[in-house]
Amino acid sequence: MTEFAYRDGVLCAEDVPLPRIADAVGTPFYCYSEARLAARYLSFANAFRGQPALICFALKANSNLAVVHALARLGAGADVVSEGELRQALAAGVPPERIVFSGVGKTEAEIEHALGAGILQINVESTAEIADVARVAARMGTRAPVALRINPDVAADTHAKIATGKSENKFGIDLDHAREAYGFAAGLRALDVQGLAMHIGSQILSLDPFRVAFGKLALLAADLKAAGLPVKRLDLGGGLGIAYDGEQPPEPAGYAALVAETLGALGCEIVLEPGRYLVGEAGLLITRVVRLKDGITHRFAIVDAAMNDLARPALYGAYHRITPVKEPRPSAPLAPVEVVGPVCETADTFARDRKLPPLEAGDLLAIHQAGAYGAVMASTYNARLLVPEVMVKDGRFAVIRPRPSYDDLLGRDRLPDWEAERDAARRVREA
């Protein structure tokens, strides 16, 4: 990956030395490479050239407006799962006719907003939701374009918390009831049934689960067509994994060939919802070593980033590669170290027994593959400020989300009226 490489002894993002950004914005911070975003999108889009495919970036992976805008300029649509994400996609320049609204818990207000915006389709995930969408659409005097999300009961070889295609998961309509549900939806005048959708999980490292799931989807679509029901579009979700720790995930070309092989004969439009694949490798989290601590059995490098900034290691036990920003000598000895943050949780650990070159207080570290499910999942736990986000391009960098102030943090809260009245009364007494 040439976008993040050592140059003159310092790790750079494209041609920008990361210490220069650290001096300007402080640490920790997220840094994204626009060139890497473009390369990943184009590799995916080119793989599907010749197929009637719409690529809708999954905003849940990274919803920064600059990131979404960079992908939208290249032709990406958006897969959203809330009204907030829908508003972000539109604000970033994604045309409404290239937006798909997924998720099991859409409220009537969110459904109304989506229909008012004129998006491509709403993926409905239960017969109850079918009825809710139809009721909202009838009230608005419009027809709602919908696709029925199917749960194919396929086990994807991924972390249990990001698997979505098994029958025990909360997502989609099970295959045994899919035909009945599709017929029900097609019979409602307020709905314009577009087709079928599915998404079996995230960080999938083999084509085999996709092959099984797409095969089941193809059989269902063929049965529905044979019954005279319209199936115009197939939304295949996302899930293609990336390499965090030496994995060898499928390439987009192989994935695209599988889609053509299993679904091409149906003559349907295809929607794809990549998220992690497009942005995961395009981002770094840069953090500074606060101090080193020698315990009884471990050496700790305490850094200024924490689990509230990047939750994946604490949440999933996820591995992220960590490298010094200052290039180590080739002969530098490696020793195990625990890379930990300042939050008052033992889970606030980025790496255990990670072999790294000698570190000193003040050193910068880069946590790699942080472009997906990083800043978008951040919180202000322990009253820590959200970290800034930076985009680099052609030797320049720009802050695309500034670090808030402590006044911003405190200003979110309000004391109840009775406390203000009590304080006013106390001041009167004291006067």
As annotated, the active-site residues are 344
Both tokens of residue 160? 């249990």
Decide if 256 contacts 51 (C-beta within 8 A). Answer: yes
Helix axes 65-73, 83-91, angle to 10 degrees: 60
DSSP secondary-structure letter at 382?
A: G
123-to-194, 200, 212, 292, 356 alpha-carbon distances in Å? 10, 14, 21, 50, 46
| Dihedral sign from CA coordinates of 242, 244, 249, 253 | positive
Distance CA 250, CA 199 (A): 17
Both tokens of residue 46? 């080119």
Task: Enumerate the β-bridge partners of residue 193.
Answer: 146
Both tokens of residue 106? 């859409």
- Distance, CA of 96 to chain centre: 20
SS3 389: strand
Task: Enumerate the β-bridge partners of residue 31.
Answer: 284, 390
Both tokens of residue 189? 């005048």
Residues with Cβ within 8 Å of residue 383, at least 6 apart in sequence: 409
Helix (H) or strand (E) holding 146: strand 144-151
Do β-strands 269-272 and 233-235 pair in parallel, antiparallel, or remain unpaired? parallel
